[in-house]
């Protein structure tokens, strides 16, 4: 289960980072890409969050490092 937790944390970190990058990005196209990437990562956070629960583990929301 440790590997899944690593993926979950990584996706959570990315979801946190992308909107901050978008906020600093002057190029509108790149800004849009960062915003879309955040959406993908949020869905990954949800997916990886369900996996431990399926195996009977209690999980809490991850926080970015």
Percentage, residues of the chain above pLDDT 70: 82
Q: What is the pLDDT of residue 1?
A: 46
The C-alpha angle 32, 41, 50, rounded to 5 degrees, equals 155
pLDDT band at 3 (very low <50, low <70, confident <90, very high): low
* Arithmetic mean of pLDDT, 31-44: 95
| Strand spans (E) along 1-65 | none
Closest CA to 41 of 33, 53, 30: 33
């Amino acid at each position: 289960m440790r590997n899944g937790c690593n993926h979950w944390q990584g996706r959570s970190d990315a979801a946190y980072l992308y909107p901050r990058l978008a906020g600093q990005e002057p190029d509108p196209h790149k800004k849009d890409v960062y915003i879309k990437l955040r959406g993908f990562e949020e869905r990954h956070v949800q997916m990886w969050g369900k996996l431990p629960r399926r195996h009977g583990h209690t999980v809490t929301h991850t926080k970015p490092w």
